[in-house]
């Protein structure tokens, strides 16, 4: 498999463009319909991308009665949790075409429980997020939480009530995965570029993980290569895990697409909020293309480096070097940036992502407004050296990534899935050949910066 070298004025990395989703009139039809009509109204079918908009509108209309929502992918329906059986509330949900579901715990109850967890159980190796499907907070403790630490977490969860929160043990370790979409290199660490954007001042830039942004000020598109971009803003830990990195050449043309390998790309047409139950794809330079579902929102993760809030929780796998990589949908919505988690692409695990919409707002950037050559992404990480950087277990991308991609992507992404092990942005055969013995080159033990531990991940919190 041959690879082109990246032209210095063209970004061979993931990208996207912002577009508004459906208007209220579309998602909330028949606003003046009678209650009689609402009682008999059949649920509408929706695309997953419409779910977050409808949920937001209903949340503002229903007030305290609203207790979360999720997307039923099998039925293509939006389920809205409601406290109590107020007929007016139920009818409002039905008029919008959604399915009302009566639950016990209100949003305020679950938020209060999360506050208690923050106060009493903020221990490295723990995480929690609301699961609207069960109307509970799901608390996870990784393999490092033992002894007195486990007892503290368990006691805190029990104090919340069995119908409010549940606790489970994760076999892996929460760590950030600094090591890989297309690979980028800086300060001895290796990460993945997420999406190309346009900064507030009109200059070309890209988003990646914040823990990558605090690891190094300058980043290259090849290992040991000259820097091509400089960190402008970075947040980690704290209220997110994202960084805005500006290209040093103001003439850089950043394509609005995700490079999924094998010369194929997925065009990114908008940034969108995640919805529980939504099918998503993740691209990273270590493990390539993998798919899964959103399982929680507004997640809190206690990494060894500190606590990060406001993340998306998923069952998508990731490994060291995937940090900062793209989370997107098969129809071209930019959803998130890989932060961290536990597990790998052999045994699975939880992976957390920074919401793209939140990052864009925080840094004042837009996705895709000025994206240049559509082919720029093809130049990809072949020369970016994703394989050279190692990423520790980079070869693990071969462990079914192709099969997973086939399940969630369209024909284009599915075809790329067969090359998932090689897909660090067209990293080709280098990834599999060099991942094991060069795991240290990318990030190795350069974790002193907070981004380089465990198999070149660069962070101790599975930041894929």
What is the set of active-site residues?
211, 241, 323
Q: What residues contact residue 208 under an 8 Å CB cut-off, 6+ apart?
A: 184, 191, 192, 193, 194, 242, 243, 245, 323, 324, 337
Which residues, 6 or more positions from 278, have their beta carbon under 8 angstroms from its beta carbon?
48, 49, 51, 71, 73, 293, 294, 329, 335
Give yes or no for a contact between 380 and 347, defined as CB atoms under 8 angstroms apart: no
Distances (CA, A) of 430 to 136, 311, 318, 389, 390: 44, 32, 18, 9, 9
Instruction: Give the separation between CA 278 and CA 411, rounded to whole angstroms.
Output: 19
Strands (DSSP E) along 287-417, which ranges? 288-303, 306-314, 326-328, 333-341, 351-355, 366-367
Q: Is 231 helix (H, G, I), strand (E, B) or coil?
A: strand
Closest CA to 37 of 98, 86, 85, 94: 94
Dihedral over alpha carbons 205, 49, 281, 107 (to 10 degrees): 100
Q: What is the DSSP letter of 344?
A: B
Q: Which two tokens stand for residue 310?
A: 């406001």
Task: Give the side-chain half-sphere CA count within 13 A for 234.
Answer: 19
Preceding omega of 237 cis (within 30 degrees of 0): yes
CB count in 10 Å sphere of residue 126: 27
Nearest partner of 363 among 462, 241, 260, 249, judged by Cα: 241
C-alpha span between 464 and 405 (Å, rounded): 17
Rounded distance between C-alpha atoms, residue 81 and residue 324, angstroms: 32
Tokens of 24: 């209220």
Q: Is the dihedral of CA 128, 133, 134, 135 positive or negative?
A: positive
Q: Which of 161, 160, 162, 157 is nearest to 127 (CA)?
A: 157
């Amino acid at each position: 498999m041959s690879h082109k070298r990246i032209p210095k004025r063209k970004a061979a990395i993931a990208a996207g463009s912002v577009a508004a989703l459906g208007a209220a009139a579309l998602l909330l039809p028949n606003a003046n319909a009678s209650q009689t009509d609402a009682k008999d109204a059949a649920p509408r079918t929706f695309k997953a991308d419409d779910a977050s908009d409808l949920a937001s509108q209903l949340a503002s209309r229903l007030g305290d009665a609203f207790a979360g929502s999720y997307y039923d992918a099998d039925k293509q329906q939006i389920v809205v949790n409601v406290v109590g059986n107020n007929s007016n509330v139920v009818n409002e949900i039905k008029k919008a075409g959604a399915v009302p579901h009566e639950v016990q715990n209100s949003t305020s109850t679950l938020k209060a429980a999360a506050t208690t967890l923050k106060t009493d159980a903020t221990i490295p190796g723990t995480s929690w997020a609301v699961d609207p499907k069960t109307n509970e907070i799901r608390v996870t403790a990784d393999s490092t939480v033992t002894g007195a630490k486990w007892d503290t977490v368990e006691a805190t969860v029990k104090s919340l009530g069995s119908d409010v929160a549940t606790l489970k043990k994760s076999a892996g370790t929460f760590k950030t995965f600094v090591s890989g979409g297309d690979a980028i290199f800086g300060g001895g660490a290796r990460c993945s570029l997420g999406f190309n954007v346009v900064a507030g001042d009109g200059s070309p830039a890209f988003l990646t993980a914040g823990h990558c942004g605090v690891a190094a000020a300058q980043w290259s598109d090849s290992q040991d290569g000259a820097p091509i971009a400089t960190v402008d803003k970075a947040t980690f830990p704290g209220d997110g895990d994202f960084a805005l990195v500006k290209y040093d050449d103001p003439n850089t043309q950043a394509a609005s697409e995700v490079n999924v390998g094998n010369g194929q790309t997925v065009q990114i047409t908008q940034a969108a909020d995640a919805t529980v139950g939504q099918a998503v794809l993740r691209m990273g330079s270590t493990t390539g293309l993998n798919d899964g579902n959103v399982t929680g929102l507004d997640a809190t993760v206690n990494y060894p480096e500190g606590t990060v809030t406001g993340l998306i929780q998923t069952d998508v796998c990731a490994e060291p070097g995937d940090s900062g990589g793209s989370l997107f949908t098969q129809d071209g919505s930019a959803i998130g940036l890989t932060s961290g988690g536990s597990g790998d692409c052999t045994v699975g695990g939880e992976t957390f992502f920074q919401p793209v919409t939140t990052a864009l707002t925080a840094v004042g950037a837009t996705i895709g407004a000025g994206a240049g050559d559509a082919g720029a992404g093809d130049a990809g990480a072949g020369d970016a050296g994703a394989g050279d950087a190692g990423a520790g277990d980079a070869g693990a991308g071969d462990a079914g990534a192709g099969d997973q991609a086939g399940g969630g992507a369209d024909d284009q992404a599915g075809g790329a899935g067969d090359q998932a092990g090689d897909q660090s942005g067209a990293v080709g055969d280098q990834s599999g050949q060099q991942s094991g013995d060069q795991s240290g080159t990318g990030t190795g033990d350069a974790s002193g910066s907070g981004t380089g531990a465990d198999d070149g991940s660069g962070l101790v919190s599975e930041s894929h």
